[in-house]
Amino acid sequence: MALNHAIMTALLDTPMSGYELTKSFDTSLGFFWKASHQQIYKALRDLEQQSMLAGEEVPQAGKPDKVVYQLTRQGRDTLDEWVLGQSRVSDAKDDLFVKLYNLNDTNRAHIIEELSERAAHVASNLSLYQRIRERSFAEPTSLPVRQQGVYCALLAGIRHCEWTLAWIEEVRPLVDAA
Amino acid sequence: MALNHAIMTALLDTPMSGYELTKSFDTSLGFFWKASHQQIYKALRDLEQQSMLAGEEVPQAGKPDKVVYQLTRQGRDTLDEWVLGQSRVSDAKDDLFVKLYNLNDTNRAHIIEELSERAAHVASNLSLYQRIRERSFAEPTSLPVRQQGVYCALLAGIRHCEWTLAWIEEVRPLVDAA
DNA sequence: CAGTGATATGCAACTCTTTGCATAGCTATT
DNA sequence: AATAGCTATGCAAAGAGTTGCATATCACTG
């Protein structure tokens, strides 16, 4: 399971509560791995039970208390091992592509609409990633090693967005005229 | 569920058996949606039960008999409706990106190795898609409407591969030197 | 005729993800 | 006091996907 590993990864530097993790998954790692709060809280409980994480109740003023989790020694070791294992390639699993296989005169307008929505969504993601890049990775070569890895992943996010936008511009006229 | 819709889409032009669908999912639509034979056979039974598909036993010589499924009128209508609904953006869900967040001196060699494997895999996919493009889509504008949609999806596959290869070339030196 | 391998199909258990519902603390506003 | 809204956490059911195992037909080879 990689959600567990994604969560442990997110906790590498900063211990966080489930709520904070959920927020952080909405940006950062969340581009590569989306997870609902239900999934995250569940995973946190499981991981704590397996001694991968240690949770600590933190009283708060002005807000409900929270439980902050940090990686244990064992969790760190397990994560390190996982990194050294084999990854497998995942599929895109995107409705839009399947829908394109169904292109006809009746649905063309709708599909163009969806392509436009997708473009808008991706463009807004892209500008978010660009902001992050400027803010935190202006000089990537002078960063600590792990942050350079994060930067590579961020670049993937950026390139992915750019690629998607270019593809949409490429096919829009084709779909339009089809 | 979109696997069902992907299967119905695959059957738009050509009635197929579960076995043939499984093979066809390995190429074509399979770039966007991978599915095991277990999943496919199950989906076929479900869809037949819902009257979306009609199965017909076809005796064969030299091979075991098979059941060939074709879209029913109702299946076609349901599919058309689905196309007109909203898609949602899916996440990349790729271990490699999560692993990059874990980059350190110990695992760097392994991650570079995985990047290379990924590049090789994607390159081989790309050449497959290129062959398909040359073989079946040499003159995209003169194709029937639906095939033009398929062509757009194929372009997505091609661009995706190209993008991934470019990204790997971009980050390889970064990971190397980190 | 035993073994290998492609064709063709299926069950069951498990894991992972989504969705809907629910609760509770605390702040600020009306 | 009621209400809206963010913070913080959880259960349960259903849907989707993976993995392991199983079975049978047919052709070909040793």
Kindly report, residue by residue over A60-80, the tens digit of the pLDDT. 999 999 999 999 999 999 999
Which stretches of chain A are assigned E, i.e. beta strand?
A: 16-17, 53-58, 66-71
Q: Nearest Cα to B86, choosing from A95, A14, A41? A: A95
CB contacts of A97 in chain B (<8 Å) are 31-32, 153, 156
The pLDDT of residue B42 is 97
Residue A99 · residue B87 · CB < 8 Å: yes
What the block records as the tokens of A89 is 């390639």
Nucleotide nearest to A90 (CA to C1'): D17
Side-chain-facing half-sphere of B131: CA atoms under 13 Å: 8
The pLDDT of residue A90 is 83
pLDDT over 90 at B37, yes or no: yes
Residue B100 · residue B111 · CB < 8 Å: yes
CA of B106 to C1' of C19 (A): 41
The pLDDT of residue A26 is 81
pLDDT over 90 at B32, yes or no: no
Side-chain-facing half-sphere of A29: CA atoms under 13 Å: 28
Q: Which long-range contacts (CB under 8 A, 24 or more apart) does A136-140 make?
A: A140/B174
Question: Among positive and negative, which fits the CA dihedral A33, A38, A41, A43?
Answer: negative
The pLDDT of residue B121 is 93
The pLDDT of residue A97 is 95
Residue A163 · residue A96 · CB < 8 Å: no
A30-56 mean pLDDT: 94
Confidence label for B90 from pLDDT (cuts 50, 70 and 90): confident
B161-172 mean pLDDT: 97
Which stretches of A3-137 are assigned E, i.e. beta strand?
A: 16-17, 53-58, 66-71
Confidence label for A1 from pLDDT (cuts 50, 70 and 90): confident
pLDDT over 80 at A29, yes or no: yes
Mutate which of A34, A90, A99 to test chain B, going by most B C-beta atoms within 10 A?
A: A99
pLDDT over 80 at B110, yes or no: yes
How do beta strands A16-17 and B53-58 pair? unpaired
How do beta strands A66-71 and B53-58 pair? unpaired
| Helix (H) and strand (E) counts in chain A | 7, 3
- Whether the CB of B22 is below 8 Å from some CB of chain A: the reply is no
Residue A15 · residue A68 · CB < 8 Å: yes
pLDDT over 80 at A167, yes or no: yes
CB contacts of A100 in chain B (<8 Å) are 149-150, 152-153, 156
pLDDT over 90 at A31, yes or no: no
pLDDT over 90 at A19, yes or no: yes
Neighbour order of strands in the sheet with A16-17: A16-17, A66-71, A53-58
Residue B99 · residue A83 · CB < 8 Å: yes
pLDDT over 90 at B109, yes or no: yes
User: pTM value?
Assistant: 0.93
pLDDT over 90 at A6, yes or no: yes
Nucleotide nearest to A62 (CA to C1'): C26
Nucleotides on chain D within 7 angstroms of protein Cβ: 7-12, 15-21, 24-27
What the block records as the tokens of A154 is 């961020």
What the block records as the tokens of B155 is 């372009």
Give the B window 112-171 contacts with A, CB below 8 Å.
Answer: 114, 118, 121-122, 140-141, 145-146, 148-153, 155-156, 159-160, 162-163, 166-167, 170-171
Q: Nearest Cα to A33, choosing from B12, B24, B28, B101? A: B101
Mean pLDDT of chain B: 94
Mutate which of B24, B95, B110, B121 to test chain A, going by most A C-beta atoms within 10 A?
A: B95
Confidence label for A132 from pLDDT (cuts 50, 70 and 90): very high
pLDDT over 80 at B159, yes or no: yes
The pLDDT of residue A32 is 84
A173-177 mean pLDDT: 93
The pLDDT of residue A115 is 97
- Whether the CB of B19 is below 8 Å from some CB of chain A: the reply is no
Query: Beta-carbon neighbour count of residue B23 at 10 Å?
Result: 14
**In sequence order, what are the beta bridge partners of B54?**
B70
Confidence label for A42 from pLDDT (cuts 50, 70 and 90): very high
Cα first-last separation, chain A: 42
Report the distance separating Cα B45 and Cα B34, nearest Å.
18
pLDDT over 80 at B1, yes or no: no
CB contacts of B102 in chain A (<8 Å) are 9, 12, 79-80, 83, 146, 149
pLDDT over 90 at A89, yes or no: no
